[in-house]
Amino acid sequence: MKPAELAKKLEGRIALAASLPVVAGFDAFVDEVIQVVGIRTSPEVYVPLSTLKEFGAWASASAGRSGLREFLTLERSAGGCSVNSGDGIAALGFPVDAFSGVGTPPDRVFKDFGLKCRSVNPLGMEPGRALVYEFQDGKLMFCSFSHFSRFTPDYLANALADGCYRKACESAVAIALTAWSVYPHMTDCWKYLQAEVFSHLVHRPQFFLDLADPASRSPNDLIGMIAALSGFERIGPTTLSLNGNEANRIARALGLAEATNEPPDVERLASEIRECAQISELGIHLIRSATGATAKGAVTVPGPYCANPRKSVGAGDRFNAGWLAGGLLGLAAEERLLLGVAVSGFFVRAARSGSISEIIDFLRCWAGGSLDAKTC
């Protein structure tokens, strides 16, 4: 499947999105995007540290001594996996009911998110905070979310007692549950939702799951999470989305061989984790490509790599939005991945989610070789 062919197919399916509602939850963060000063030549002019390698070299050289660097907050924005992916899905034209802890009243950074979604319910939870250090070759995120430990099955039962979540799920074609890693009790919450909400649905919605970086979670936590995924699959086809680091952490926990960035190796690991989890689909997205594995096999597509992204935080969530949207629009496995990398590719260049018409135009520019000349 070529980008131009996908663009043509999407044109015939644009109108479908408005009749395909999605439920998203539960995390929300206020992101402060930060740049570290390398050299300041005047009060108004500076050169930032451009790479993580430079930052790491400076930090390592400070060991046993001390170090000081100036940083600047470039923006304060809405963040969190459910907010970012929900924003991406809503921008593509799908009705989104978000159950995300944006605060009561919502922090002002979530105003645009609230306008894009059909509804937003904060569940009585305040957002976390993320300090995001962006570099050309990656990012460092320092997050504060200790209050998420209150998110237990008992808390969830009380927050959902009004029936709004269940009602939204009853009409949803897809239910996205994101950022497992930042909630210590989320595996138990998943089991509660499976038993008390999802098992009562009379249709089979698509479940779409994302972890966020599980670096702080134990191997036993990861094994328990993987074991809980089959509970979703019994209710509806289930997809788990991972990035390369997340996939390798799960591999170590499960006793599987880690993967390099080479497509055959990534496809092998995606297939193995999917089989262990007993779910319909598993994806691994990298900076330059994305891989999806189903019972029919695994496939990899290259992405529209951008060497100088305007924004990288939330790119994976926009990939998830495009990948999920492709499934809801009835696209084949390779086409779904291609839509995911296109939605992400637009985001890193424009620093915002793209509409379906903008993504179609983006695909055509990509096919014609004029992509970066137009959007970077």
Structural domain boundaries, residue 260: 3-30+85-130+145-375
Q: Tell me the mean pLDDT in the region 248-273.
A: 98
Q: Is the pLDDT of residue 81 over 60?
A: yes
Q: Is the pLDDT of residue 376 over 60?
A: no
User: Which percentage of the chain shows pLDDT scores above 70?
Assistant: 99
Backbone angles phi, psi at 257, to 5 degrees: -70, 135
**pLDDT of 175 over the 50 cut:** yes
* pTM tops 0.95: no
Tell me if 319 is assigned to some domain. yes
Task: Look up residue 30 and give its amino acid.
Answer: V
Torsion angle (degrees, nearest 10) of CA 186, 187, 190, 194: -160
Over the stretch 135-164, which tens digit does the pLDDT of each residue have?
888 888 899 999 999 999 999 999 999 999
pLDDT value at residue 159: 96
What's the CATH number where 349 sits? 3.40.1190.20
More confident residue, 257 or 135: 257
Three-state secondary structure call for residue 233: helix
The per-residue pLDDT for 374 is: 47
Compute the average pLDDT of residues 157-181: 97
Q: What percent of the chain has pLDDT over 90?
A: 91
Query: Quick check: is 298 in a domain?
Result: yes
pLDDT tens digit sequence for 330-355? 999 999 999 999 999 999 999 999 99
Condensed to tens digits (0 to 9), the pLDDT of residues 231-251 reads 999 999 999 999 999 999 999
Distance, in Å, from the CA atom of 291 to the CA atom of 241, rounded to the nearest integer, reads: 10
pLDDT of residue 373: 54
- Is 305 contained in some domain? yes
Beta partners for residue 130, in sequence order:
31, 143
Q: How many domains does the chain have?
A: 1
Q: Are strands 297-302 and 289-294 parallel, antiparallel or unpaired?
A: antiparallel
Q: Is residue 363 part of a domain?
A: yes
Question: Average pLDDT of the chain?
Answer: 95
Residue range 221-240: average pLDDT?
98
Is residue 95's pLDDT more than 90?
Answer: yes
Q: Is 51 contained in some domain?
A: no
Beta-strand pair 96-100/22-26: parallel
Q: Identify whether 222 is part of a domain.
A: yes
Flag whether 65 is in a domain.
no
Q: What is the pLDDT at residue 138? A: 81
Mean pLDDT value across residues 169-181: 97
Query: Three-state secondary structure along 48-92?
Result: ECCCHHHHHHHHHHCCCCCCCCCEEEEEEEEECHHHHHHHHHHHC
Q: Residue 336 falls within a domain, yes or no? A: yes
- Is 36's pLDDT higher than 50? yes
